[in-house]
Structure 1
Amino acid sequence: MAEYFDTEHAREIAALQGDFLSRSEWPTWTLIVAIYGSWFGILSMLHSGRLLPVVATPLLALLGAWHLSLQHELLHGHPTRWARLNMLLGWPPLSVWYPYTLYRESHLAHHRDEALTVPGIDPETNYVDGDEWARLPRWRRALWQARKTLIGRIVVGPPTSVAAMLAEEAKAVVRGDRRHVPMWLAHGVGVVLLLGWVERYAGIAWWHYLVGVAWPALGLAMVRSLYEHRAASHPKARIAINEAGLAMRLLFLNNNFHLVHHDLPALPWFHLPRAYRMRREAYREKSGGFVIGGYGALIRRYAWRATDAVEYPSSRPNIN
């Protein structure tokens, strides 16, 4: 148990982790069935002509974003103790762009709280080092600044994130690091099979699926990370608490309680709200006031306005 929990709260969390819900993980199993079952159900209705593509497309995009939230839960050790089985449950590339294995590797590296937000160390940072920022051409600065707004993050976030990821992977291969090559080959085969089957069975062209389903799915998923971290001196003050409504909590599997998740990364998604309620004021204080009143508040304030600066503050924390 982390050292910043008092003894009473440690017992409370241990009780949550040992209850029937946590032992059986039936909410997560139900979620897995619901996501894959709904995905196949929508395609079956398209195949039979009972659903129009104009209706199916946004539904599939929504499921794609939900599947990305599910992948996040799986990589944190749910619903089983076997990482390989969890990987198989999350491997189907419904949202196309990111291989599950790569996402798992980079996201677990992100959970080093003392390095959160630091460019070059945190793989999920939304900041750019000052020296690099000074060298960037105007068009790349404009893209980075757009990604700091909610609309820009949805629209240009997916292609810029995918492009940056592919560039890093290509650089690794050039350097002689070919560890990820088998992963990419398997992922590529999976994507080709998925797009081919969707087009043949449901009549959705591969390009339609990429542009109309996979792109919006990633854009919607990136709404959660628009402002869940900020540059601050204390690591815990870098992590947001978003007191979202039920629909968005379900879509993001309660990861909006992001500080709670970082404190308790092994706690299953369905217990995060309860853990937060147990110590609501303490968590709000620990976050340094980094509390957001739901995604509606984010939309009203940051739809077209940047959350903060792209350039990382000059005073970087010491990382051991």
Structure 2
Amino acid sequence: MSNYLDETQRQEIEALEQSFTARTEWPTWLLLIGVYASWIVVILASSWLGLWLSTALLIPIVVLWLSLQHELLHGHPTRFNTLNKVLGYAPLAVWYPYTLYRDSHLLHHRDEDLTIPGLDPESRYLNQQQWAGSSRFERGLHWLNKTIVGRFLLGAPLALWALGWEALQRLRQGQRQAWLMWLTHGTLTLLMLAFIARYSALPVWHYLALVSVPALSVAMIRSYYEHRPHPQPEQRTVINEAGWPWTWLFLNLNLHLVHHDVPKLPWYFLPRVYRARREQWQARSDGFVVQGYGRLIGRHGLKAIDSPRHPFV
């Protein structure tokens, strides 16, 4: 729990953590069962639903799965990391092994390193040396990635390219952990794709290109402007007062400052904690507040929100 919380906030959060809902984690268990069941039902019923309706249903299911994996790696719905790993390891989104996502994301929670290239694994900024060494084409891609449209169209391909390059380097170096992780993930992914090929109307290429990649692109909208460079680390994280369906797809992670200050707080309590001290949270963020993703799309669909160059690194 963050040191920036006052005693009243701490007591309110501790009371929530002792509640029946928090102790049983029934909302997360229900969601976990629902996502798995929904995915299986759509896959098995895809011949009846049709190719494109199945696709339209699967994309939000996979987006929700990505958000649910985030909950699992933060210690929900159980206190046992190994069990959470088993619950979240299914490769419904295909590309990212659960353990890779878990380890890099937990590093991202070092608030003093937020947005810093080379330290924050989720930074979308380049340091001065990286910028000086990039080509005009690469700089253009980085500028496009700072718009919502560019982020939606280019964010996933650029992330997958970086993922593939990093994985290749680790495998070439013979890192045992990387080999075990990718062999496990690859085996499960092949089994899942075989299931899709055998029991659904979706060709494997269709699931890869038109379900998993678009789902990752939608998830990229959440991370588009979660953090900003700021001299004070405690004022680098956004509060996005988004509405439905974004809050559901992203499991309230739009209230990102609350999540960073209380990373163990489950998704279903984030809005309650924020509403209880709304003005206090906004002051805590130094006014780093966005009025929903619609506002971001309207203002920055084709206009970069800031520079790809980190301003003080």
TM interval, short-chain normalised: over 0.9
In structure 2, the partner of 1:302 is 300
SS at match of 2:245: helix
More divergent stretch after superposition (35-44 vs 119-128):
35-44
| Deviation sequence 1:44-80 (CA, Å, 0-9, x none) | 211xx32011111121111111100000000000000
Q: 2:9 and 2:284 mapped to 1: Cα distance?
A: 15
Indicate yes or no: 2:122 matched with 1:124: yes
SS at match of 1:81: coil
User: By how many angstroms is 1:170 displaced?
Assistant: 2.1
| Deviation sequence 1:108-128 (CA, Å, 0-9, x none) | 000000000000000000101
User: By how many angstroms is 1:176 displaced?
Assistant: 4.6
In structure 1, the partner of 2:27 is 27
In structure 1, the partner of 2:13 is 13
Q: Could you tell me the percent identity over the aligned residues?
A: 48
After TM superposition, the score normalised by the length of structure 2 is 0.97
Q: 2:50 and 2:143 mapped to 1: Cα distance?
A: 37
User: By how many angstroms is 1:300 displaced?
Assistant: 0.4
Q: 2:156 and 2:122 mapped to 1: Cα distance?
A: 13
In structure 2, the partner of 1:39 is 39
Name the amino acid aligned to 1:233.
P
After TM superposition, the score normalised by the length of structure 1 is 0.95
In structure 1, the partner of 2:214 is 216
Q: 1:94 and 1:175 mapped to 2: Cα distance?
A: 28
User: By how many angstroms is 1:166 displaced?
Assistant: 1.8
Indicate yes or no: 2:260 matched with 1:228: no
Any residues of structure 2 matched to 1:5-154 within 5 Å, and which?
5-46=5-46, 49-154=47-152
User: By how many angstroms is 1:139 displaced?
Assistant: 2.0
In structure 1, the partner of 2:183 is 185
SS at match of 2:87: helix
Q: 2:133 and 2:174 mapped to 1: Cα distance?
A: 27
Q: 2:236 and 2:196 mapped to 1: Cα distance?
A: 41
* Equivalent pair of 1:67/1:94 in contact (CA under 8 Å): yes
Q: 2:130 and 2:8 mapped to 1: Cα distance?
A: 46
User: By how many angstroms is 1:171 displaced?
Assistant: 2.2
* Equivalent pair of 1:126/1:310 in contact (CA under 8 Å): yes
* Equivalent pair of 1:58/1:212 in contact (CA under 8 Å): no
SS at match of 2:259: helix
- In structure 2, the gaps of 5 or more residues are none
Name the amino acid aligned to 1:70.
L
SS at match of 2:49: coil
User: By how many angstroms is 1:2 displaced?
Assistant: 3.1
Cα RMSD of the aligned pairs, angstroms, is 1.1
More divergent stretch after superposition (168-177 vs 63-72):
168-177
- In structure 1, the gaps of 5 or more residues are none
Runs of 4+ deviating beyond 4 Å: none
Q: 1:26 and 1:165 mapped to 2: Cα distance?
A: 34
* Equivalent pair of 2:50/2:201 in contact (CA under 8 Å): no
SS at match of 1:162: helix
Name the amino acid aligned to 1:273.
P
In structure 2, the partner of 1:2 is 2
